[in-house]
Structure 1
Amino acid sequence: MTQEFLRSSIPLSISGTSVTISALCRQGPKAPVLLLHGFGSTKEDYADIVRHGVFEGRAFAAYDAPGCGETDCADLTTVDIPFLLDTAAAVAGHFWFERFHLVGHSMGGLTALMLSSQLPQRVLSFINIEGNIAPEDCFLSRQIDQYPSDSAEQFFAEFIERALHAPAYASALYSSSLRHKVRADAVPSIFRSMVSLSDNGDLMRKFLGFPFPRMFMYGEQNSNLTYLSHIESKGVELAEIPNCGHFPMYSNPVAMWKAIGDFIERAESTSRKVLRVTTTPR
């Protein structure tokens, strides 16, 4: 069984800024998965991919975004969604992922959406785990405007305290590691770009226009998102994770991984059927 992963350190220059990416990766014969974590999380959110048999033999890469985890970034104030988009494209290129499945959570879901828009011919499928596609999705990032502070450090400290008391599954667990997983100086530019794109970036049209299979995954606590029936009617598969809020990898990882694995297998099965039909000689 090809279950274990390797650690990888990847030196990059992103928009003139030196970055050293910390990644977990594995090679394998099956089409790879590129996994993008959310704000306040790290690549280890996805390390358990190797513990689920449905992914046996599948290559993957998960990495710490600049400003997060063990990744080093020379200028944290440059980190925003366009910067993270360029990083994701560079990481995919580093691992020679010619075509790949995309999984992105929250901030990572928005980054993955922008990457899909830039490289649609290379994406096999996209699993969006509560990534931003509408203004209502900025319940975390919009706090940069709702709770102005004198410094990035002060804002982040108060953000952590609010997360601790938020009435949602896994919020306290999430808050407990934020200070260890995120550099405060990266927070304002990340949040402002997330809000700007969610309000003005035409994200819904982009998401619904992709030519490959798409899933939108959400916790049952967020089943009141107003656009769910709309995106389902446009061909997006919905996956509601029970006993869960915004963080399925913390609250219900077994259900999350099953939904991801089953969806990727269906996407590849559909692709093979289409290929057979289009290549069958008349």
Structure 2
Amino acid sequence: MSPVRKLERFTLPLTVGATRVEVSGLHRDGTGTPLVFLHGFGSTKEDYADVIQQSRLAGRPVLAYDAPGCGASTCADLGAVSIPFLVSVAEQVLKARQIDRFHIVGHSMGGLTALMLADGAPGRVASFTNIEGNVAPEDCFLSRQILTHAHDDPEEFLARFAERVGGSPFYGGALYASCLPHKVRAGAVRAIFESMVDLSDHGKLLDRFLALPAPRMFMYGEQNNTLSYLPALAEGGVELAEIEHCAHFPMYSNPPQMWAHIADLIARADTGS
């Protein structure tokens, strides 16, 4: 058995607007079109670290990093961390790592960030795996709680948010909720959630997703297979990937099936089949 080629850690200081951030990331050199991974709210780059276990993706360049205010990445102004801010961060990280064209995989918040990034530069995207990233108002079942369960104290909001998610009947909810206080700074939550809600309600995200020219996949858990826009995605040429025994977090509930679908799309995109 050949040795696993590990991911290397890096830190990258950036200035986004007037805000200083330090990005903590993982990368691997290789050949072919790079794989870029964007994590969801309350998650980290390590959601994708098992890319090194995927033989079908072996040898490819890899980039994953923590969004500012999440994981090991820092931000001097947590209130600045909105989706447009995260898109600017992505653009700067890609430039610093000298990545032009890429396959992108984004989950939830990361899926929305990836969509806005791809919408701004569609020719750079070789394929897009959207793992329950926001494309419609109904996707704000987590982020809209900033309005429906508003609290003046950011720490208290995050604690109660974790309690609600942890007590839900959905796959992966308790595991996800147990890590929230360690993976996201409470001061970053409001701006992130408010921008996710605003874009989902007013940003015509479904139209933007359908208009992308790259091969696209929308991945969702079987517990979320009633999403109203799934037929529109299929009719618009988006490949649908339903993950068994899963809700919003395939990387926690069914990673083998998640990785198999990702590898399939990337292989087909590279060959044009």
Q: Which residue does 1:97 correspond to in 2?
A: 99
Q: Which residue does 2:34 correspond to in 1?
A: 32
Q: What whole-Å deviation, never above 9, does each CA across 1:165-213 have from its counterpart, x for those lacking one?
A: 0110010000000000000000000000000000000101100000111
Q: Which amino acid aligns with 2:16?
A: I
Q: Distance in 2 between matches of 1:67 and 1:209?
A: 31
Segments of structure 1 that go 5 or more residues without pairing to the other structure are 274-282
Deviation at 1:100, TM superposition (A): 0.2
Q: What whole-Å deviation, never above 9, does each CA across 1:50-79 have from its counterpart, x for those lacking one?
A: 011011111010000011000011110110
Q: Which residue does 2:76 correspond to in 1?
A: 74
Q: Distance in 1 between matches of 2:9 and 2:151?
A: 37
Q: Which residue does 1:49 correspond to in 2?
A: 51
Helix, strand or coil at the partner of 1:54: helix
Deviation at 1:92, TM superposition (A): 1.0
Q: Which amino acid aligns with 1:126?
A: F
Helix, strand or coil at the partner of 1:23: strand
Helix, strand or coil at the partner of 2:197: helix
Q: 2:108 aligns with which of 89, 92, 106?
A: 106
Aligned-residue Cα RMSD (Å) equals: 0.9
Q: Which residue does 1:178 correspond to in 2?
A: 180
Q: Which amino acid aligns with 1:117?
A: D
Q: Which residue does 2:130 correspond to in 1?
A: 128
Deviation at 1:152, TM superposition (A): 1.0
Deviation at 1:151, TM superposition (A): 1.4
Helix, strand or coil at the partner of 2:151: coil
Helix, strand or coil at the partner of 1:126: strand
Normalising by the residue count of structure 2, what TM-score does the alignment of the two structures yield? Answer: 0.98
Please state if 1:168 is matched with 2:170: yes
Higher Rg: 1
Q: Which residue does 2:258 correspond to in 1?
A: 256
Q: Distance in 1 between matches of 2:178 and 2:170?
A: 14
Q: Distance in 1 between matches of 2:246 and 2:106?
A: 17
Q: Which residue does 1:192 correspond to in 2?
A: 194
Q: Which residue does 2:65 correspond to in 1?
A: 63
Q: What whole-Å deviation, never above 9, does each CA across 1:85-135 have from its counterpart, x for those lacking one?
A: 001111111111110001000000000000001111111110000000000
Q: Distance in 1 between matches of 2:115 and 2:30?
A: 25
Q: What whole-Å deviation, never above 9, does each CA across 1:231-265 have from its counterpart, x for those lacking one?
A: 10110000000000000000000000010011100
Q: Distance in 2 between matches of 1:13 and 1:57?
A: 32
Q: Which amino acid aligns with 1:155?
A: F
Deviation at 1:3, TM superposition (A): 2.2
Q: Which amino acid aligns with 1:259?
A: H
Q: Which residue does 1:118 correspond to in 2?
A: 120
